[in-house]
Amino acid sequence: MKFAIQSRRDVQSNELMELAKTYLQDFGLEIDEEEPEIVLSIGGDGTLLHAFHRYSHRLDKVAFVGIHTGHLGFYADWKPSELEKLVLSIAKKEFNSVEYPLLEVQVHRNSSDSSTYLALNEATIKSPDVTLVMDVELNGKHFERFRGDGLCVSTPSGSTAYNKALGGAIIHPTLHAFQLTEMASINNRVFRTVGSSLVLPAHHNCVLKPVNDQKFNMTIDHIQIIQTDVKSISFNVANERVRFARFRPFPFWERVHDSFVSNE
């Protein structure tokens, strides 16, 4: 089996990375940064986002597993002290693969080719200087004209990240859906939005159309992109899936409890 490692690059993560390389190679695994079959992310959930985008071109051939060197994460759920146990399980191939849906984002421009992105957590749109004004279409029909700070479109697995901070719903990561959540929308006697997150199933489509010819900031997970000359942005549940190597049960709602409820 071929493996690669993504490190957060702090001292502890780098030490664990070198140790993991030694252990895995001692068990006969081959390090391959170009075409790995399993990718270890050592750091936090942000490190795994970097690993995901690094290998997003071969999602059907790679599985991810995370070791956290900080707080317990939703993607990084192994402790540094469990490294030997994890390596042994990888070497014996004692794991199952679980698949989570991703978000496909297509940016259509007026005078140039369109661009397509995949997001593991979310995509956001904000205006750097003025109020963001976007027409929101659902399944080809006008739904509302949004005015406010911005919009967040998240995957189920990303619903516990920025989406939750905005007041969006937490969605189980196995559900094939995506979520549209507002950022500080303007609601008064003149301007109105729905004011709630919208959870859309996989067969639905959401399109945002800029009302003004304005520049705005877009993020795809941790990646920031300045967008101009945009005709529309469409969002769908992607055909691709992300795969995680699961070595033991760790119920999602238990993770939610440990992350947001428990004070132990």
The annotated binding site for NAD(+) is made up of 45-46, 50, 121-122, 147, 149, 184
Q: How far is CA 40 from CA 8, 123, 149, in A?
A: 11, 24, 36
Per the CB < 8 A criterion, the answer to whether 126 and 149 are in contact is yes
Provide the annotated active-site residues. Answer: 45
Cβ neighbour number for residue 223 with a 10 Å cutoff: 13
H-helix segments, 76-159: 83-91
The whole-angstrom distance between residue 157's C-alpha and the CA centroid of its chain comes to 7
Instruction: Provide the annotated binding site.
Output: 45-46, 50, 121-122, 147, 149, 184
DSSP class of residue 202? T
CA 255/CA 202 separation, integer angstroms: 24
CA 91/CA 28 separation, integer angstroms: 8
**CA-based nearest residue to 49, from 76, 71, 77, 70:** 76
Rg of the Cα trace of the chain?
Answer: 20
Amino acid identity of residue 13, one-letter, is S
